[in-house]
A and B are shown apart, each in its own frame.
Chain A
Amino acid sequence: ETGVTQSPTHLIKTRGQQVTLRCSSQSGHNTVSWYQQALGQGPQFIFQYYREEENGRGNFPPRFSGLQFPNYSSELNVNALELDDSALYLCASSRRDRNTGNTIYFGEGSWLTVV
C-alpha cells in the first residue's frame, strides 16, 4: 500500500465527453503529478501540482487541466475526449522539500476507455 488512492478505477466515456479523475495523495505529501500510460507504452508526464499551483507541464493540450486542493488531493480533467485519450492515468504523490525518489508513490491508476 502506497497511501495514494485514485478513483474511479475504471470508466468508459464517449468521444466528446468530459471526465474527472481523482487522486488522494499520501499524508504529508504536498506535490501531485499525473501521468498518462497508453497501452504498451511507458507513462508520459501530463503535469504537476505543488501547493495548489501548476508546477510543470508535459506535451499535452489545454483540454487536459487539473486542480490541487488545500488537503493536497488532486483532480485531472479532460475535456472533449478523443479516442487516443484511452489510457491508464497514474497519480504520483511526493513531498517536494525532501530528497526525491524514496518518497514518490504511485496510485493504482484509473483506466479510461473512450468509445
Chain B
Amino acid sequence: AQTVTQSQPEMSVQEAETVTLSCTYDTSESNYYLFWYKQPPSRQMILVIRQEAYKQQNATENRFSVNFQKAAKSFSLKISDSQLGDTAMYFCAFMNGNQFYFGTGTSLTVIP
C-alpha cells in the first residue's frame, strides 16, 4: 500500500523568506510520480510542482523547488521569496496507475 506522510500540520513564514515543507512516502513501486498541490480557501487544487521518480534531477518551477531523495523516500518542497498569495494548504501526493495518494496537508501562512 502507498502512504504519504506530512508531519507538519501548520507552518508560518515571513514574507520574502524561504520555507521548506516536508513529505515522506512509502511504496514498493519503482515508477511513480510525486506532486505538490496547493489548496487555497477556494478549495481548488492547484498543481505546484511534479517530479518523475526516474529523474534524478530535482524539479524546479520559478520560486518552487523540491528535494527528492528516492532512497529515503523523501520529497520536500522549498518555497523561496514567500508571497502572501502562497498562504494555503499544501498537499504532497504520490501517483501510481493514475490514482493519487495524498498526505494530510500542511497549512502554510505567510506573515506580512
Residues of A in contact with B (beta carbons under 8 Å apart) = 2, 31, 33, 35, 40-45, 48, 55-56, 58, 88, 90, 92, 94, 96, 100-102, 104, 106-109
Contacts and interface: CB of A to CB of B under 8 A. Distances in A.
Contact of B102 (A43, A88, A94, A100): A43
Contacts, number: 59
A66 B62 CA distance: 38
B102 A104 contact: no
Interface string B74-112: 000000000000000001010101111111110000000
B98 A33 contact: yes
A11 to B, nearest CB: 15
B95 A101 contact: yes
Interface of B: 4, 33, 35, 37, 42-47, 50, 52, 91, 93, 95, 97-105
B44 A2 contact: yes
Contact of B44 (A94, A100, A102, A108): A108
A48 B44 contact: no
